[in-house]
């Protein structure tokens, strides 16, 4: 096989099937992944959750993962947040002509590994090759589906005054990692992406209690954006203790260097739970016992006043509103 | 008007220094400060070390307020 | 809460004297005061005004127009502090110019822009040089470096500002000023001390919660005494003599000029431009930029806001067509802009 992707690989020719067999099939292998036009599947009775997500990230490889791992985690975590045990996933690639086959192999390998870890089967896929310059190296879109666990009923509109807000770990690592990996600001820090599939963490919580109102994974926009979304969707206020938010010191350092707010940096392996105060400790302890959520922390609570707002309790014993970023995050000097 | 970054000097070499803020490291221009040594704390702005820092903010605060006996 | 904050908090919240107006000059102070929620602690008789100390807020519309001219007409690669990306020009801001295909790149330091010019000899790199005395040395270092490297594809578009003469313009806007700690770290305290002799009071403050609270407490205690005062509340960074090497550097590379402040108009000898021997690195000369007169929105009252003459809410555009997402005036653009802070804060 050639060592770069060419337009022939996307033409439906022999090269296409060669690519699929040698790279995708070997890494994703399972009985549902066939050469037919569609995968034939069965789901258990009851409700299912389904979600789709497109992934473009530059650079496509970064400390702690690559676009492949990200593409699995993203869709798995989206349905997991609705209480669904991940079952099947489809993926679609748009690859730029000239992309190294070796790199594609690395990406496929990490997709296979992450899918196995998340307990999801990759059952169908599609590959298109775009001309040079038409896409930035590689784009991946994934769709995941799974059955919702009995007795679980979560939604962004279910947060209630008195609920405790729990994050599953330190925030902003993915965004910070990507920022540094781009090399634009010449900053060096030992930070890896938090990118991880999180169904097992959610399952661990459900084993303790199913009385959870909201689960949301904080992706682009970070935890701050999730808080605003829930405040709006549930028509409640949110009160956060700034000092109790777990933040990696390196992330803090980069943020102070560039004048960025860690609450708005992207995460790819962090959950935000809204749960009644009575079960908050159970949720916290269940999370702390799991890989990727040992630093879980209660960061605040839901209030009946200040509807639609996120209020921070600050170090001087005052309250302030979490300001909302407008558009892209930019480093600032003032 | 000016975000300052307090950081520790890791090394100094010919007018530039590597500084470390909580593990985030970067090269900055250090030629505006004399006798800079590894371990010193400096205030960095826009990639330039502009001042040495000689204590933490809490002892500074109590000193300032103490001077005025308030 | 540490002891210093607790004690300062008592003084601030307990103030029951006559109404006082305190102006924080520095945009980063505005930002931190907002972030710490300090305003919500103030009793009604303490008015905290946000002054013109955000380089973004005082950069005139025409400067953004000049940058866009260089990007679109001269095909320059514009490097800038991120702060300027969303500042409105007459027609558009830099973000929109970038979306239209202009080469606009945020950098952390002017040095990074020099590096970019070195690595890309085919690009004409322009750095948007804004900022007060704190930031100006970084531009001067960059220009000197470019000269040493004999780079002929690097230049800076200056809109650097100098504070001393601006203070005089602001005299009377407040009973006391919170001076910008990092400007004084460069310039030293002589100007502030001479202002005291002219009856202008103030303290120089740092940026942490502890530093801001103690500086406010000191200001209030000194105001109670009724005498003009100057106190250095940031001695761990600010020395009386400032940073002599930085002052010497600015003197070598730049000189004072009259300059326009957004909203305040032209203030004599309050700007900095490159000296003649560095003219090769002056974008205005290099690219022969025509005189561009920016046209701000006529309804915008940023200028009065910056001088403490009116509150953001007194402006007819505020919160209506001018919001953080669709900023018309510069004070709404950055988080530390007075209007932006006021807008978000008043939603509480």
| pLDDT reading at A129 higher than 80 | yes
- pLDDT score for B3: 87
Do A254 and A110 fall into the same domain? no
Q: Which residues of C touch A331 (CB under 8 A)?
A: 81-82, 106, 108
Q: For chain C, what is the mean pLDDT?
A: 92
Spell out the domains of chain B, with CATH numbers in brackets: 5-67 (2.30.30.140)
* pLDDT confidence band for A1 (50 / 70 / 90): low
* pLDDT confidence band for C15 (50 / 70 / 90): very high
* pLDDT confidence band for A2 (50 / 70 / 90): confident
Q: Which residue has the higher pLDDT, A83 or A333?
A: A83
* pLDDT confidence band for A133 (50 / 70 / 90): very high
| pLDDT reading at C311 higher than 90 | no
Q: Rounded to whole angstroms, how far apart are CA atoms A125 and A27?
A: 13
Of the candidate ranges A45-59, A108-122, A222-236, C18-32, the one whose mean pLDDT is the lowest: C18-32
Do A168 and A317 fall into the same domain? yes
| pLDDT reading at C346 higher than 70 | no
Residue-wise pLDDT for A297-326, tens only, equals 999 999 999 999 999 999 899 999 898 876
The answer to whether B51 contacts C25, with C-beta atoms less than 8 Å apart, is no
- pLDDT score for A10: 83
Residue A176's H or E segment, with its range, is helix A173-181
Strands annotated E in chain A:
48-55, 61-62, 65-66, 84-96, 121-130, 138-148, 164-167, 187-188, 214-217, 237-241, 271-275, 297-303, 310-313, 319-321
Residue A144: which of A205, A203, A81 has the closest Cα? A81
Number of domains in chain A: 2
* HSE-up of residue A225 (Cα within 13 Å, Cβ side): 19
Domain segments of chain C: what residues? 1-298, 302-345
User: What b/e string do you get for C243-258 counting C-beta neighbours within 10 Å, with b at 16 or more?
Assistant: beebbebbeebbebee
| pLDDT reading at C53 higher than 70 | yes
Residue A326 located in a structural domain: no
Do A45 and A99 fall into the same domain? yes
CA pseudo-torsion sign A116, A117, A123, A125? negative
| Averaged pLDDT, A92-112 | 96
Do A175 and A249 fall into the same domain? yes
Interface partners of chain B (CB pairs < 8 Å, 3 or more) are: A, C
Residue B7's H or E segment, with its range, is strand B5-13
Residue C118, class by beta-carbon neighbours within 10 Å (0-12 exposed, 13-18 middle, 19+ buried)? Answer: middle
| pLDDT reading at C57 higher than 80 | no
Residue-wise pLDDT for B15-45, tens only, equals 999 999 999 999 999 999 999 999 999 999 9
Residue A334 located in a structural domain: no
Residue of B2, B22, B46 lying closest to A253 (CB–CB): B22
Q: Rounded to whole angstroms, how far apart are CA atoms A276 and A273?
A: 10
| Averaged pLDDT, C3-15 | 95
Residue B43, class by beta-carbon neighbours within 10 Å (0-12 exposed, 13-18 middle, 19+ buried)? Answer: buried
* Owner of token pair 């594609």: A104
Do A144 and A247 fall into the same domain? no
**What percentage of chain C reaches a pLDDT higher than 90?**
69
Residues of A at the B interface (Cβ-Cβ below 8 Å)?
Answer: 185-191, 249-250, 252-254, 256-257, 259, 332-334
| Averaged pLDDT, C17-28 | 92
Q: Which residues of B touch C186 (CB under 8 A)?
A: 50-51
- pLDDT score for B24: 94
* HSE-up of residue A144 (Cα within 13 Å, Cβ side): 29
The answer to whether B47 contacts C11, with C-beta atoms less than 8 Å apart, is no
The answer to whether A250 contacts B22, with C-beta atoms less than 8 Å apart, is yes
- pLDDT score for C305: 84
| pLDDT reading at C331 higher than 90 | no
Q: Enter the tokens of residue C333.
A: 């653009």
- pLDDT score for C13: 96
Shortest Cα–Cα distance, C242 to chain B (Å)? 8
CA pseudo-torsion sign C173, C174, C175, C178? negative
User: How many whole angstroms from its chain centre is CA B18?
Assistant: 12
Do A58 and A204 fall into the same domain? no
Interface partners of chain C (CB pairs < 8 Å, 3 or more) are: A, B
Architecture of domain C1-298: 3-Layer(aba) Sandwich (3.40)
* pLDDT confidence band for A197 (50 / 70 / 90): very high
- pLDDT score for A328: 74
- pLDDT score for B70: 60
Give phi and psi for C146, each to the nearest 5: -60, -40
Residue-wise pLDDT for A139-184, tens only, equals 999 999 999 999 999 999 999 999 999 999 999 999 999 999 998 8
Of the candidate ranges A152-166, A217-231, C121-135, C291-305, the one whose mean pLDDT is the lowest: C291-305
- pLDDT score for A19: 86
Do A55 and A187 fall into the same domain? no
Shortest Cα–Cα distance, B10 to chain C (Å)? 19
CA pseudo-torsion sign A83, A89, A92, A93? positive
**CA separation, residue C334 to residues A325, A326, B50, C174 (Å):** 9, 9, 24, 23
- pLDDT score for A139: 97
Shortest Cα–Cα distance, A67 to chain C (Å)? 25
Residue C230: which of C176, C159, C171, C169 has the closest Cα? C176
Do A189 and A269 fall into the same domain? yes
Q: Rounded to whole angstroms, how far apart are CA atoms A254 and A260?
A: 8
Residue A156 located in a structural domain: no
DSSP C323: B
Q: Which residues of C touch A328 (CB under 8 A)?
A: 85, 95
Q: In the listed set A148, A181, A213, which residue is the last one of a domain according to the structure?
A: A148
Q: For chain A, what is the mean pLDDT?
A: 94
Do A263 and A310 fall into the same domain? yes
- pLDDT score for A298: 98
* pLDDT confidence band for C339 (50 / 70 / 90): confident
Do A170 and A314 fall into the same domain? yes
| Cα angle for residues C47, C317, C36 (degrees, 5° grid) | 40
Shortest Cα–Cα distance, C348 to chain A (Å)? 7
Do A178 and A282 fall into the same domain? yes
Residue A277 located in a structural domain: yes
Residue C263: which of C80, C85, C88 has the closest Cα? C88
Q: Which residues of B touch A315 (CB under 8 A)?
A: none
- pLDDT score for C340: 83
| pLDDT reading at B1 higher than 60 | no
Residue A287 located in a structural domain: yes
- pLDDT score for A225: 96
| Averaged pLDDT, C263-282 | 92
| ipTM of this complex prediction, to 2 decimal places | 0.95
| pLDDT reading at C113 higher than 60 | yes
- pLDDT score for C181: 95
| pLDDT reading at A128 higher than 80 | yes
Q: Are A100 and A60 in contact (CB under 8 A)?
A: no
Q: Rounded to whole angstroms, how far apart are CA atoms B3 and A319?
A: 22
- pLDDT score for A326: 67
Residue C126: which of C84, C92, C96, C163 has the closest Cα? C84
Do A195 and A255 fall into the same domain? yes
Shortest Cα–Cα distance, B67 to chain A (Å)? 22
Question: Domain with A260 in it: what CATH number?
Answer: 3.90.650.10
Question: Domain with A55 in it: what CATH number?
Answer: 3.30.1330.10
Confidence (pTM):
0.91
How many CB pairs lie under 8 A apart between chains A and B?
A: 44
Q: In the listed set A114, A148, A182, which residue is the last one of a domain according to the structure?
A: A148
The answer to whether B22 contacts A188, with C-beta atoms less than 8 Å apart, is no
Domain assignment of residue A280, given as a range: 164-321
């Amino acid at each position: 096989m050639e060592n770069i992707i060419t337009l022939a690989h996307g033409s439906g020719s022999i090269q296409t099937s060669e690519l699929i067999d040698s790279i995708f099939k070997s890494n994703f292998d399972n009985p549902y992944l066939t050469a037919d036009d569609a995968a034939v599947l069965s789901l258990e009775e009851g409700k299912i959750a389904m979600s789709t997500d497109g992934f473009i990230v530059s650079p496509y490889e970064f400390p702690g993962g690559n676009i492949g791992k990200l593409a699995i985690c993203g869709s798995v975590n989206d349905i997991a947040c609705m209480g669904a045990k991940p079952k099947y996933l489809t993926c679609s690639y748009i690859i730029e002509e000239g992309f190294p086959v070796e790199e594609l192999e690395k990406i496929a390998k990490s997709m296979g590994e992450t899918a196995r870890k998340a307990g999801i089967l990759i059952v169908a896929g599609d590959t298109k090759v775009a001309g040079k310059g038409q896409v930035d190296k590689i784009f991946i879109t994934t769709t995941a589906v799974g059955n919702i666990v009995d007795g679980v009923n979560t939604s962004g509109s279910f947060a209630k005054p008195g609920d405790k807000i729990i994050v599953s770990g330190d925030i902003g690592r993915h965004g910070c990692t990507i920022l540094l990996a781009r090399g634009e600001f010449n900053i060096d820090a030992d930070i890896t992406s938090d990118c991880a599939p999180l169904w097992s963490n959610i399952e661990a919580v459900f084993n303790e209690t199913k009385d959870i109102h909201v689960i949301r994974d904080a992706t682009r926009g970070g935890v701050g954006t999730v808080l605003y979304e829930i405040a709006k969707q549930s028509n409640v206020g949110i009160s956060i203790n700034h000092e109790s938010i777990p933040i990696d010191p390196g992330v803090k350092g980069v943020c102070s260097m560039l004048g960025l707010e860690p609450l708005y940096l992207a995460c790819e392996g962090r959950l935000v739970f809204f749960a009644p105060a009575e079960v908050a400790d159970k949720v916290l302890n269940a999370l702390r016992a799991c890989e990727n959520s040992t630093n879980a922390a209660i960061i605040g609570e839901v209030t009946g006043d200040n509807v639609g707002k996120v209020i921070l309790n600050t170090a001087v014993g005052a309250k302030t509103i979490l300001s909302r970023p407008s558009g892209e995050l930019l480093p600032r000097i003032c | 008007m000016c975000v300052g970054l307090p950081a520790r000097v890791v090394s100094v070499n010919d007018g530039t220094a590597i500084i470390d803020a909580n593990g985030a490291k970067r090269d900055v221009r250090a030629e505006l400060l004399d006798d800079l040594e590894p371990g010193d704390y400096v205030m960095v702005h826009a990639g330039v070390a502009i001042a040495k820092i000689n204590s933490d903010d809490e002892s500074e605060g109590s000193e300032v307020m103490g001077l005025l006996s308030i | 809460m540490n002891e210093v904050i607790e004690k300062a908090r008592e003084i601030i919240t307990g103030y029951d004297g006559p109404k006082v107006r305190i102006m924080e000059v520095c945009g980063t102070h505005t930002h931190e005061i907002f972030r710490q929620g300090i305003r919500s602690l103030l009793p009604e008789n303490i008015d905290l005004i946000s002054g013109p100390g955000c380089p973004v807020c005082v950069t005139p519309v025409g400067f953004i127009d000049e940058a866009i001219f260089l990007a679109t007409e001269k095909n320059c690669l514009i490097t800038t502090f991120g702060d300027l990306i969303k500042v409105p020009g007459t027609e558009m801001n830099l973000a929109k110019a970038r979306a239209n295909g202009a080469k606009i790149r945020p950098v952390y330091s002017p040095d990074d822009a020099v590096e970019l010019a070195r690595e890309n000899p085919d690009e004409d790199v322009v750095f948007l040089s804004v900022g007060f005395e704190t930031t100006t040395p970084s531009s001067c270092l960059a220009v000197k470096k470019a000269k040493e490297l004999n780079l002929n594809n690097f230049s800076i578009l200056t809109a650097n500002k100098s504070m001393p003469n601006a203070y005089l313009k602001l005299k009377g806007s407040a009973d006391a000023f919170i001076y910008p700690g990092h400007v004084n770290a460069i310039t030293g305290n002589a100007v502030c001390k001479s202002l005291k002799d002219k009856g202008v009071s103030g303290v120089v403050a740092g940026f942490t919660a502890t530093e801001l609270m103690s500086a406010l407490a000191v200001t209030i205690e000194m105001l109670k005494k009724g005498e003009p005062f100057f106190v250095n509340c940031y001695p761990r960074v600010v020395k009386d003599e400032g940073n002599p090497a930085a002052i010497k550097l600015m003197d070598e590379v730049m000189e004072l000029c009259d300059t326009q402040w957004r909203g305040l108009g032209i203030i004599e000898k309050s700007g900095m431009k490159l000296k003649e021997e560095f003219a090769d690195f002056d974008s205005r000369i290099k690219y022969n930029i025509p005189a561009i007169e920016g046209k701000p929105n006529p309804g915008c009252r940023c200028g009065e806001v910056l001088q403490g003459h009116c509150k953001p809410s007194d402006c007819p555009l505020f919160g209506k067509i001018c919001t953080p997402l669709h900023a018309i005036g510069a004070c709404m653009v950055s988080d530390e802009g007075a209007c932006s802070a006021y807008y978000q804060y008043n939603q509480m």
